[in-house]
Amino acid sequence: MSGYIWNKEMETLSYENLRELQGQRLADCVRRIYGTVPFYTEKMQASGLTPDDITSLDDLRKLPLTDKQDLRDNYPFGTFAVPLSKIVRVHASSGTTGKQKVVGYTREDIDLWSECIARSLAMTGMTEEDSLHVAYGYGLFTGGLGLHYGAERMGVMVIPVSSGNTKRQLDILLDFQPSALACTPSYALHLADEMDAHGISKHQLNLKVGIFGAEPWTLEMKRQIEDRLGLKAFDIYGLSETLGPGVAMSCEHSDLLHIQSDHFIAEVIDPDTHEVLGEGELGELVFSSVTKTGTPLLRYNTHDLTRLYYEPCACGRTTVRMEKVTGRADDMLIIRGVNVFPSQIESILLTYGELEPHYMIHVDRINNMDRMEVQIEMTKAFFSDSVREIETIERRLTADIQSTLGIAAKITLVEPRSLPRSEGKAKRVIDNRTF
């Protein structure tokens, strides 16, 4: 059934009613946290604030920002706003450095999460007639269990495959004929490669919907996945600290993602000044998860870069929408003073029919000079062509990157299937510089 809305009341609130509800929920949340979570209480006191100062949405920006370091400093359970006896599950997210960020969920939080996922799946047109192959990892990572509970809430038949063992994933896709697949976009491409290698055609599968996220991916990559797996790809966004998957999701009408804004109040701030930016301005995404009871977070800086939009969508939903996240502020590479996001390089690479969407960016500092090398796999067909043609493509790509990004990069075309694959989030950058 296309075009239905899971929670019509909450997903179609008028702008004014949404703001009012957000304001009430924010004030309630501050009252719950103040005096219960020591680090919030201290932060508010340091800013000279008491719960009486926060009565409407306009007061949000008075509150101090929080960051991953706050979770790490209070590792493992110091951010919980309820006694441990009320927590029914924990998840954690490691990141690249430091202690894990641990998040606790009460029974009500698991309920809220399932609701957000059911709303998200409804955006893809899925119903209880569908079946969902979940290839996100099950465990402390939120991908597997998050999707799982929400799909069950909708009545979808869940196939909890988890990540890894690609051959088994293919067998299940063929034998169980699921209509939807959930995994990282890079793993979806890996599955497509393995299908080719095993002579499996997309027409032997029954996939109609792909629920891809947990890492940045470009619209070029989306088109390739849709073409190779024969499905419609949707972008699911979230982070462990605020919930897990299901904070936002793209719908059938556009590539902007609907934020579940009755639960998550979004702001975009200037990365340097922390000033709150207006509609359509690019900056760091900040969330207040005002209805969560286990680990509610106020003004948590995700460092994901995006823009917010407030116009209602053609699908009928009026929730706040965000642009596809193509990078985090801390993913940005500075190469000889030029700011470069891996997604900008990906967008250029994927316009070449001779190349596969598998690449790795290496950055080194040699004699005090930054050097960037981009290794990218050739398609099987192109690989068998002459060395001269390979050199021509390398030269063309070098010139394209130079003219678009303003930096020189060494381009190395490598054999098909020679770069490492990931079963979860892809690793695209190896930065060997020491600062």
Question: For residues 241 and 234, what is the distance between their CA atoms, to the nearest angstrom?
Answer: 22
150 lies in the site for ligand DLL, by CB under 6 A:
no
Structure tokens, 125: 């047109």
Q: Across-strand partners of 339?
A: 334
325 lies in the site for ligand DLL, by CB under 6 A:
yes
245 lies in the site for ligand DLL, by CB under 6 A:
yes
Nearer CB in complex with ligand DLL: 234/382: 234
DSSP string, 300-344: EEEEEEE-EE-SPPTTS--S-EEPPP--BGGG-EEETTEEE-HHH
Residue 298 and residue 30 in contact, taking contact as beta carbons nearer than 8 Å: yes
Select the span of 163-171, 173-181, 234-242, 333-341 touching ligand DLL (CB under 6 A).
234-242
- Indicate which single residue of 12, 93, 131, 412 sits in contact with ligand DLL (rule: CB under 6 A): 93
- Indicate which single residue of 214, 372, 393, 426 sits in contact with ligand DLL (rule: CB under 6 A): 214
Q: What is the DSSP letter of 51?
A: G
163 lies in the site for ligand DLL, by CB under 6 A:
no
- Interhelix angle 142-154/107-123, nearest 10 degrees: 70
Min dist. Cβ of residue 257 to ligand DLL (A): 7
Residue 226 and residue 99 in contact, taking contact as beta carbons nearer than 8 Å: no
Nearer CB in complex with ligand DLL: 27/158: 158
238 lies in the site for ligand DLL, by CB under 6 A:
yes
Q: Report the sign of the C-alpha dihedral through residues 26, 321, 141, 176, in that order.
A: positive
> 381 burial class (0-12, 13-18, 19+ CB within 10 angstroms)?
exposed
215 lies in the site for ligand DLL, by CB under 6 A:
yes
- Indicate which single residue of 74, 106, 169, 240 sits in contact with ligand DLL (rule: CB under 6 A): 240
289 lies in the site for ligand DLL, by CB under 6 A:
no
Min dist. Cβ of residue 245 to ligand DLL (A): 4
Helices (H) and strands (E) in the chain, counts: 12, 20
Min dist. Cβ of residue 108 to ligand DLL (A): 20
Nearer CB in complex with ligand DLL: 117/374: 117
Residue 358 and residue 349 in contact, taking contact as beta carbons nearer than 8 Å: no
Min dist. Cβ of residue 432 to ligand DLL (A): 23
What residues contact residue 389 under an 8 Å CB cut-off, 6+ apart?
Answer: 382
Residue 342 and residue 216 in contact, taking contact as beta carbons nearer than 8 Å: yes
302 lies in the site for ligand DLL, by CB under 6 A:
yes
Min dist. Cβ of residue 14 to ligand DLL (A): 27
216 lies in the site for ligand DLL, by CB under 6 A:
yes
The CB-nearest residue to ligand DLL is: 213
- Indicate which single residue of 236, 333, 340, 348 sits in contact with ligand DLL (rule: CB under 6 A): 236
Structure tokens, 183: 């995994």
Select the span of 39-47, 207-215, 343-351, 408-416 touching ligand DLL (CB under 6 A).
207-215
In 3-state terms, what secondary structure has residue 134? strand
Nearer CB in complex with ligand DLL: 61/328: 328
Select the span of 12-20, 201-209, 236-244, 397-405 touching ligand DLL (CB under 6 A).
236-244
Segment (H or E) for 27:
helix 15-33
Q: Which residues make up the interface to ligand DLL (CB under 6 A)?
A: 93, 136, 141-143, 213-216, 235-240, 244-245, 302, 304, 325, 328
